[in-house]
Structure 1
Amino acid sequence: MPSTTFVVTEPKIREIFAADFRDRIVHHLLYNCLVPVWEPKFIFDSYACRKSKGTHKASIIRLRQFLRKITANNRKNAFCLQADIKSFFTSINHDTLFNLIQKHTRNPDILWLLKTIIYHNPTKNPIKRGQLSLFNQVPPDKSLFHIPKNQGLPIGNITSQFFANVYLNELDQFVKHRLKAKYYIRYVDDFLILHQDLEILNKWRRQINHFLQEKLALKLHPKKQKIYPINQGIDFLGYVIKPTHILNRKRVVKALKIKLWHFNKKILSLNLEHPIRLWTPELCDDFKKIFACVNSYFGMFIHADTYHLREHLYKKHFGILKIYLLPADEKYSYFVWDED
């Protein structure tokens, strides 16, 4: 069945493919068959699309542990190698991926299904949705419509997320067992390594880039790799983590301020000269989205040292929203919806 494709613009422009509902059922069945086989093979510090992992445990819990250990609670200096892989999902080689998986899969039915999904071309007669002009804004190296047909996985399928972990498990094993890196964390194609020796990190960066090109037909993004002192703060997965404290990215805070401004503008556009409790179905639908959005952001903020930021946002940027969204506690941890 044809996939549905559309382009999202936040946090950056990206081409998404959504498989047909029946295909997604098959994807989940395959995923459930493969995870028990592969989960024991993955390293502990790979955090994307795995049960009991995720961004919070990678950036807040594990990275903070690493920083405290390598700096002896901020008494020693250390450095961070941070990088990501250029056009990762569109660069995955189908033959390489299939060969990696088939080494650990003997069931002929599973192998047939794997081959069908991996080599499937989602750009064949897809259903395009959304603003069609956005497709022209997707960089060619990040679009399945413009790359060789023997490479690339569609962003949006659960199988693609799993296959990404299988593919980069080769990198994980190389870093942990060949380079012997003690402090290494990966989330999808973003990774970082901590070490007290700057020259060792420079050497490892060259070795990693060579390994990626030779074994996986990948390469580090030339503009997204750097080595720097960790006391500058590590910008990773929405947070800036230092040995002593954690902050949120400035652009995340700025994005919420813009959304709050638009939310207030939308309410005022209802021609309410004075804010009143006028709950029409349309207004309720709008507020459900606003309520979910605001609490999503504050759910991220609560894990950082941001009490004063949360207080400032509520008092200075909520505007009319303060009538409807009430702080659940004195810490501004989240908000409750006042419908009275």
Structure 2
Amino acid sequence: MQVHRHLFERIISKENLFTAWEEFRKGKQGRKDVQEFERKLEQNLFRLHRGLVAGTYRHQPYSAFIICDPKQRRIHKATVRDRILHHAVFTVLNPIFEPAFIAHSFSCRKGKGTHKAVDALDRMLRSVSRNGTRPCFGLKCDIHQFFASVDHDILLGILEKRLKDEKTIALLLPIRSFLKEHLHLDLHPHKVTLRKYRQGIDFLGYVLLPHHRVLRTKARRRIVRKLGERITAHKAGLLTEESVEQSLQSYLGVLSHANCYRLSQDFQNQCWFLLQE
């Protein structure tokens, strides 16, 4: 196992902090806190750099808020300054740990994602079931409050095996310090299901069956609702027709990963009809 040293200087370098800013700001230019930070960008980044060099940097508290899309979730968000540092840490550490991740971990990884995860499960199901000719079951589980349940001592132990850099380890300690620590991980008692392949395996917005793949009913309803909301906003003069068309194409892209040709045609026809009213 390769051991890495002297990473702290690379993480906190001005070049890396500015690169982290560019990555962080993508898709967030319209947010108030991002705009406020950008007004004094160089001043803010240089202050962050000086604090890291001097050892006076302290991670600020997370703000909590609730979102409902589609179900209610409690989200914790760090400040812009701290999220930029998160990106800076990721830029340096990700190439070290990425090769060690299992191939079937698809979330938040370059070249992976939802649709490739669904494709991978589809291949597994077809292989095990011999293309639907043999019984096959899918067990779906969810870790109960995963991030809030990670044992930090174990996590740091894993990191320290590869990172022989005390300053880098010290930098990682406060990033998740707001989380409540537990001794172990537990399966969510209400999120464990076992289904036969021929009944359909519900996974990441799609339902996989032996010879086809369809969109989950909730996902379809959500698309209909959101597309309707955007069309209503367009009629109220709040969105351009081009913006509505972009949303439609995005949803059609989601449908293209399933056997949903007729549904795609229905969406396009309904969208065109509503825009012409």
1:288 positional shift: 5.5
Q: How far did residue 65 of structure 1 move? A: 1.2
Matched, 1:67 2:21: no
Per the alignment, in what secondary structure is the counterpart of residue 110 of structure 2? coil
Deviation, structure 1 residue 309: 0.7
- The answer (yes or no) to whether the contact 2:234–2:241 under 8 Å persists in 1 is no
Q: Quote the residue 2:202 is aligned against.
A: 235
Q: Is the 8 Å Cα contact of residues 260 and 318 (structure 1) preserved in structure 2?
A: no
Q: How does 1:12-51 map to 2 (within 5 A)?
A: 12-51=71-110
In the alignment, which residue of structure 1 is the partner of 2:28?
A: none
Q: Rate the CA distance shift 1:317–1:251 in 2: closer, same or farther, 3 A.
A: farther
1:153-212 CA distances to partner (integer Å, 9 max, x unpaired)?
Answer: xxxxxxxxxxxxxxxxxxxxxxxxxxxxxxxxxxxxxxxxxxxxxxxxxxxxxxxxxxxx
Runs (5+) with no aligned partner, structure 2: 1-59
Aligned residues of 1:8 and 1:15 also touching (Cα < 8 A): yes
* 2: CA distance, partners of 1:26 / 1:112: 13
Q: What is the alpha-carbon distance in structure 1 between the residues aligned to residue 130 and residue 97 of structure 2?
A: 35
Are the counterparts in 2 of residues 6 and 16 from structure 1 also a CA contact under 8 Å? Answer: yes
Q: Equivalent residue for 1:53? A: 112
- In the alignment, the residues of structure 2 paired with residue 306 and residue 12 of structure 1 have an alpha-carbon distance, to the nearest angstrom, of 25
With over 3 angstroms needed to count, the CA separation of the structure-2 counterparts of 1:85 and 1:2, relative to structure 1, is: closer
Aligned mates of 2:155, 2:111 — CA distance in 1 = 25
Matched, 1:96 2:154: yes
Q: Within 5 Å, which residues of 2 pair with 1:114-129? A: 114-119=172-177, 121=178
Would the aligned equivalents of 1:238 and 1:248 in 2 still touch at CA under 8 Å?
A: yes
Between the aligned partners of 2:247 and 2:135, the Cα distance in structure 1 is: 39
CA RMSD of aligned residues (A): 2.3
The DSSP-based 3-state class of the residue aligned with 1:223 is coil
Question: How far apart in 2 are the matches of 1:82 and 1:232?
Answer: 14
Partner of 1:321: 275
CA contact (8 A) 1:264 1:320 kept: yes
Matched, 1:221 2:188: yes
Most deviating of 251-260 and 50-59:
251-260
Give the structure with the larger helix fraction.
2
Asked if the contact 1:81/1:227 (under 8 Å) is kept, the reply is: yes
User: Percentage identity across aligned positions?
Assistant: 35
Q: Which residue of 2 aligns with 1:192?
A: none
TM-score for both structures, normalised by structure 2: 0.70
**Structure 1 residue 295 corresponds to structure 2 residue 241:** no
Q: Which amino acid aligns with 1:298?
A: L
Which residue does the alignment assign to 1:200?
Answer: none
Match of 1:77 among 101, 110, 135: 135
CA–CA distance in structure 1, aligned partners of residues 233 and 206 of structure 2: 30
- Map 1:155-170 onto structure 2 (within 5 A): none
Distance 2:273 2:222 in 1: 16
> Is the CA contact 1:5–1:16 (under 8 Å) kept in the aligned structure 2?
yes
Deviation at 1:322, TM superposition (A): 5.5
1:310 aligns with 2:257: no
Greater relative CO (CA pairs within 8 A, separation 6+): 1
Instruction: State the Cα distance separating 1:287 from its structure 2 match.
Output: 4.3
1:249 aligns with 2:249: no
Aligned equivalents of 1:29 and 1:68: distance in 2? Answer: 41
Taking the aligned partners of 2:151 and 2:240, their CA distance within structure 1 comes to 43
Q: Which amino acid aligns with 1:40?
A: P
Q: Say yes or no: does 1:8 pair with 2:67.
A: yes
Distance 2:98 2:142 in 1: 23
Offset of residue 301 of structure 1 = 0.3
Matched residue, 1:211: none
Q: Contact 1:314/1:322 (CA < 8 Å) preserved in 2?
A: no
C-alpha distance after superposition, 1:249-277 (max 9, x if no partner): 11111112223333444445x4xxxxxxx
Distance in 1 between residues matched to 2:149 and 2:276, nearest whole Å? 47
How far apart, CA to CA, are the structure 2 residues paired with 1:292 and 1:13? 27
**Are the structure 2 counterparts of residues 294 and 316 from structure 1 closer, same or farther at C-alpha, using a change threshold of 3 Å?**
closer
TM-score w.r.t. the length of structure 1 is 0.58
CA contact (8 A) 1:263 1:290 kept: yes
